[in-house]
A and B are shown apart, each in its own frame.
Chain A
Amino acid sequence: MINKAIIIPTGDELKTGVVLDTDSPMIMQVLLSMNGNCTVIRNEPIQDSESLISNCIKTYVNENVDLIVLIGGSGGGHRYSKTLGKDYTHTSLESILEEKYSTELYGKNGHLWSKLICGIINKTMVINVPGPYQEAKAAIEAFKRSYEHDSKDLKQINTNMAEAVKSKYFE
């Protein structure tokens, strides 16, 4: 059961207030629907920086939280467009998670659209969801269904989250 969860939104556009963070309240709602007694903390938005993101995750891991949800920074758009934000969430997770499963969703143009990771560091489960609201909602709802079915099956959780995100591209 998830008794303490942390939501970490990432992105310079959130930090500067250019864009409103509508993902965090939605994710909080889903987490509370899993356990009404869960303590859910929304961290302030973090800039697109690998070290800042990694350090923030490590801080909460040391506090033995059950779940960390990172929002945004899951793609590779900045490789192809100078004005898109830097996507460092998945690279941060790759570098610090002990056990992990990941799925990369590529477009037919060969660009990385989203990389979703589900892993464990110490006893904390860490997942990420894409920034766009509909994909984030699909991902966290798939996480809920999968976690409630078998919370230890990281691979299945990751696969189901990626399938849910992929399905949103065809609506």
Chain B
Amino acid sequence: MDKDIKVIVQVDKTVVKITGVEVKGLNIQQLEEILKDKLKSLVRIIGVTGSSIEMDIYGVEEEDILRKEDGLITAIALADGISVSDVTTLSSVKKIQSVNIDSVPEYIENGCRGERWL
């Protein structure tokens, strides 16, 4: 038998992207702890490339994050495996917007890969 349950998580978060960094051998757990200590809030690293870091910051408003930009960049430089430079910046800071529960997209099992991901 197959059974699929859908759950809506009612929590606020702001998605932050930092670009202009150099990343190699990053310990995400360590970085999350550093940022949690700096922001006094839950942080989850959700995407890392060699030149960018994307994270979810829970319960902190966009303005507060932008106000702490310099401090945040200084903080992430403390993590092993990250190098920052003059071009390091918060390139995107966006609080998630609530949607009507009816507009949650349907998951299409075995659907066309192109349609699913575009």
* A residues lining the B interface (CB < 8 Å): 13, 16-20, 22, 50, 75, 77-79, 81, 83-86, 91, 94-95, 99-113, 115, 132-135, 155, 159, 162, 166, 169-171
Contacts and interface: CB of A to CB of B under 8 A. Distances in A.
Contacts of B54: 81, 83-84
B99 A83 contact: no
Contacts of A84: 46-47, 54
11 contacts: A19-B25, A75-B46, A79-B116, A99-B1, A99-B2, A103-B6, A106-B7, A108-B8, A109-B96, A135-B44, A169-B9
- How extensive is the interface on chain B, given as a class? 35 or more
Contacts of A113: 9
Contact of A132 (B2, B15, B46, B105): B46
A113 to B, nearest CB: 6
Contacts of B28: 19-20, 22, 132-133
Contacts, number: 131
B87 interface: no
A114 B94 CA distance: 20
B4 A18 contact: no
Contact of A134 (B6, B44, B98, B113): B44
A20 to B, nearest CB: 5
A18 B110 contact: no
